[in-house]
Amino acid sequence: MTKDKALEDLFLAQKPHFSDNADFMAALTKRLDAVEYLKQHQEATIRRYKMLMVATFVVGVISGAVAIGFVLSTPIDEPLFSFETQTGVLLWFAQNSRWIAATALSLLMTVGIVTIISNVQDILRMCKAQRSLSLTATL
């Protein structure tokens, strides 16, 4: 609380003076150019994120379709992989390889979807921040 009061007193004590000299205009132009540069950089970043999201979605759909097609195209009586051994745990993995592969694919696709949704929300947040930045810059 005392820090807030000290900051408020500091700002109230500051009495800026404006002059008509070229230094003020040069400094103002420099600041406006910096804001414009940041705005362009943020727009480029958002475009790049959107393109990466589309590419990620396409790669995910294609790889998911290939993996599911592979699991479904193999014969049902044959395991997807075998360890050429009769040990209990490895034999269980070989016998249940279809269920394990389907579960792993489902979990992988779920994590991918959650990640994509999270990234889309981050992009939307960045767009909203950019809009508010451009509104403040125009005021």
For tokens 């109230």, name the residue: 12
Mean per-residue pLDDT, 64-87 = 74
pLDDT at residue 24 in the model? 74
Mean per-residue pLDDT, 23-50 = 82
Closest residue by Cα to residue 57 from 69, 49, 46? 49
Q: Is the pLDDT of residue 106 over 70?
A: yes
pLDDT at residue 103 in the model? 83
Q: How far apart are CA 22 and CA 20, in angstroms?
A: 7
Cβ count within 10 A of residue 50: 14
pLDDT at residue 139 in the model? 54
By CB atoms closer than 10 A (0-12, 13-18, 19+), residue 75 is exposed
Q: What is the mean pLDDT of the chain?
A: 77
Q: Is the pLDDT of residue 89 over 80?
A: yes
Do 82 and 93 touch, CB atoms closer than 8 A? no
Q: How far apart are CA 33 and CA 35, in angstroms?
A: 5
DSSP three-state, residue 20: coil
Least confident residue range of 9-13, 30-34, 39-43, 46-50 = 9-13
DSSP three-state, residue 86: coil
pLDDT band at 136 (very low <50, low <70, confident <90, very high): low
Q: How far apart are CA 47 and CA 74, in angstroms?
A: 41
pLDDT at residue 70 in the model? 76
For the chain, report the end-to-end CA distance as a whole number of angstroms.
31
Q: How far apart are CA 45 and CA 63, in angstroms?
A: 26
pLDDT at residue 5 in the model? 76
Which pTM was predicted?
Answer: 0.48
